[in-house]
């Protein structure tokens, strides 16, 4: 059984930092691309960042470029998202997702490209 688990959410003031972690277990062989999505009530789930299996190629949504950094963890099927200079609009539930493929590609922000999801971790940025 595949399990996806996020951790690291919390409340931080504007300009602060948080580090999210994600671990995927039960996949067996075949490392895949991984991504972070986020969602606020009433809005569509938005792709935040994606990283391929090698860890060398990463993609970001425009609003988080130069503030967020995605990386593979030391262990297989782990991933982190370092979030710096957080803004009020970053407040959301953040979800870790495991891709159906090894790369992110241009369609990385589409939910249909991911088959396993975590339950989410809340990030709240306060004034």
pLDDT band at 51 (very low <50, low <70, confident <90, very high): very high
Mean pLDDT, the chain, rounded, equals 94
pLDDT tens digits for range 105-127: 889 999 999 999 999 999 999 99
Q: What is the pLDDT of residues 53-75, one digit of tens each?
A: 999 999 999 999 999 999 998 77
pLDDT at 22: 96
Residue 74: the pLDDT is 77
What is the rounded radius of gyration, in angstroms, for the C-alpha atoms of the chain?
14
E strands, the chain, are 3-7, 10-13, 18-25, 34-39, 46-51, 58-60, 68-72, 78-83, 92-99, 114-117, 121-126
pLDDT class of 76 with cuts at 50, 70, 90: low
């Amino acid at each position: 059984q595949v399990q996806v688990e996020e951790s690291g959410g919390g409340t931080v003031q504007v300009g602060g930092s948080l580090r999210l972690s994600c671990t995927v277990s039960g996949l067996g062989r075949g490392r895949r691309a991984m991504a972070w999505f986020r969602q606020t009530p009433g809005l569509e789930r938005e792709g935040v960042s994606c990283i391929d299996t090698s860890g060398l190629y990463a993609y970001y949504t425009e609003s988080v470029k130069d503030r967020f950094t995605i990386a593979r963890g030391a262990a297989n099927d782990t991933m982190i998202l370092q979030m710096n200079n957080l803004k009020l609009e970053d407040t959301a539930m953040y979800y870790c997702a495991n891709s159906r493929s090894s790369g992110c590609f241009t369609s990385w922000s589409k939910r249909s490209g991911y088959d396993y999801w975590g339950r989410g971790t809340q990030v709240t940025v306060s004034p």
